[in-house]
Amino acid sequence: MQAGADWVGFVFFPRSPRFVAPTQAASLSARHAGGPLRVGLFVDPTDAAVAATLAELPLDILQLYAPPPRVAEIAARFPLPVWRSVAAATPHDLPADIAPAAAALIEPNPPPGATRPGGNATSLDWSLLKSWRPTYPWLLAGGLRPDNVARAIAESGATAVDVSSGVETAPGEKSPERIHALVQAARAVNR
């Protein structure tokens, strides 16, 4: 949290090596009062799962891997901004609208055989986004690391990025040094 990131994410998807239980996330979050906004990542969650998580940990944003109708249901049920994860391989995959979501997370399709929809350390073809001009906020995700994030931002036009595996020493083990290096490289692009 000291690296200057705008958000910190908690993954509530059991198949992810980054999975944390809500009580564990609450304990981690309590270590740093204030700081970055807290994002909870959910994959096809039930209302009960989201409610149980929010009872343990106050989140600022819900990041959802779910079909658009389900995203709309969750956005209507919980009074938090929702980020919708969108996998893209061609310009036709980029949504014209994401309402009622507040933002989109644009990332590559999961590789064949993947057990999770994101966090697979694969990169999007960043040039796919260069001339794309959505009417809503979006973040770039997928395969970003300290050594490629500046190029990804420059080639895609992204104003924000979402990173997980690219700042780890092993699956699920974050490196404070890599986080700091990535934040500094990303911020340097717009100086």
Task: Look at residue 1 in the predicted model and tell me its pLDDT.
Answer: 46
Is omega for the bond preceding 91 within 30 degrees of 0, making it cis? no
CATH number at residue 123: 3.20.20.70
Q: How many domains does the chain have?
A: 1
Domain, as residue range, for 43? 7-189
pLDDT tens figures, 130-148: 889 999 999 999 999 999 9
Token look-up 């919708």 returns 84
Q: Which stretches in the chain have pLDDT values below 70?
A: 1-3, 120, 190-191
Alpha helices in the chain (DSSP H): 22-30, 47-56, 68-77, 149-156, 176-189
pLDDT tens figures, 150-168: 999 999 999 999 999 899 9
Q: Is residue 2 assigned to a domain?
A: no
Q: Is residue 169 assigned to a domain?
A: yes
Q: Is residue 1 assigned to a domain?
A: no
Task: Look at residue 131 in the predicted model and tell me its pLDDT.
Answer: 86
Give CA 14 to chain center in angstroms. 16
